Structure 1
């Protein structure tokens, strides 16, 4: 039961963020948007280091001085995986009229906006599932408390993400109810990915260090490719930087305090 709650916490963050369409009349202020994007970036980078890469290295202690190898390989493969998805899945980022991925004729703009967020959520769902699977099957490297820290951290960064995807959709002429639904559905991929990972956790145990760092690499790709450029574009880029610092520290504190 605790594990089910843990993997649903990130979806709660997305849902609460998407619900902002019902309480905010106007589009999100640009400065707030930049700060939240920076905050999300900080949370994801800190989670990648403390919750994923460091446990992966700890699990590989038996390799001696080569204990870094599984983590290094996993990070690079995770980045390559997201790069391939970025090139294949048709998606559209806010404030950008040019779709990315394969040719997307016939796909609605709103669908591509949601797909962009889904693309971000894939590594987060994988990370939560892998960490909980690791907590179930490893002795010391990952604890249930540490897994909950990651889940809570991702939920915190999912809140602005849910708002950022749902609120602009209202500006596209979509009703608040539908905008909320799109935001909620964009987060469904996270618990689904987490559940599938846990179901196969026994078979995945031997390669857990690679999987942890794979999820870290995937999240790092999203931060560097999308979140940081969006938070630092235009004026007042320092707001995104401040948000990053706060998010990084919050996630670091959560991981250390709850582990």
Structure 2
């Protein structure tokens, strides 16, 4: 039951954020959006370091001086995977007019949701890999540590859900119900990716350090390629920096205090 709850927590965060369409009339103000994007970036970077990369190196301690190898290899593979997905899946980022990936005739709203969904995959994988490590009785992954990551991702998913659903209502003319549905659907991939990872846990256990680092690389790709540039563009980019610092410190505290 606790594992089921742990896998659902990030999705609950996205759903709660998407529900903002029911009690907010307008889009988030640019300053607030920058703060939230920076905050999400900080949470993801801290989670990548404390919850994924460090455990990956600790699990490989028997390799002594080469204990960095699984973390380094997995990290680069995660970056490469998201880079490939960006090229193969048509999607449109918020505030952009030109879509990325293969040319297609999908609706703008569909491609916006695909963009967020694509970037939610590594977060779901990260949660799944950590809980898989916990199930394998690996001493480096505790129940509290797994929940710390899950809660941290849920916190950064809340603004993400709002940032996708509010513009769909105001700019694309969708009703509140549809905007909420699209925002919620963008987060469905997280528990799905987590469950698939756990179902494969017996096969994946020997390469768990690589998988932890893979999830970290994929999350860092999202931060560097999307979140930080969006938080830094235009005026008042320092707001995004402040948000990053707050998100990073919060996730660090969660991981150390609960881990």
The corresponding residue for 1:28 is: 28
Q: Which runs of 5 or more structure 2 residues have no equivalent in the other structure?
A: none
Q: Does structure 1 residue 80 correspond to structure 2 residue 80?
A: yes
Distance 1:256 1:23 in 2: 35
Q: Deviations over 1:54-110 (max 9, x none)?
A: 000000011010000000000000000000001111000111000001112x20000
Distance 1:254 1:174 in 2: 37
The corresponding residue for 2:119 is: 120
Runs of 4+ aligned residues of structure 1 deviating over 3 Å after TM superposition are none
TM-aligned CA distance change 1:60 to 1:138, over 3 Å: farther
What is the CA distance between 1:223 and its match in structure 2?
A: 0.1
The corresponding residue for 1:188 is: 188
Distance 1:187 1:165 in 2: 11
The corresponding residue for 2:61 is: 61
Distance 2:43 2:241 in 1: 12
What is the CA distance between 1:138 and its match in structure 2?
A: 3.6
The 5 Å alignment of 1:31-42 reads 31-42=31-42
The corresponding residue for 2:151 is: 152
The corresponding residue for 2:97 is: 97
Q: What's the TM-score once normalised by structure 1's chain length?
A: 0.99
Q: Does structure 1 residue 244 correspond to structure 2 residue 209?
A: no
Distance 2:165 2:145 in 1: 30
- What RMSD over aligned residues (CA atoms) do the two structures have, in Å? 0.5
Distance 1:119 1:241 in 2: 24
Distance 2:201 2:160 in 1: 28
What is the CA distance between 1:140 and its match in structure 2?
A: 1.1
Q: What's the TM-score once normalised by structure 2's chain length?
A: 0.99
Tell me how many residue pairs correspond in the alignment: 258
TM-aligned CA distance change 1:152 to 1:38, over 3 Å: same
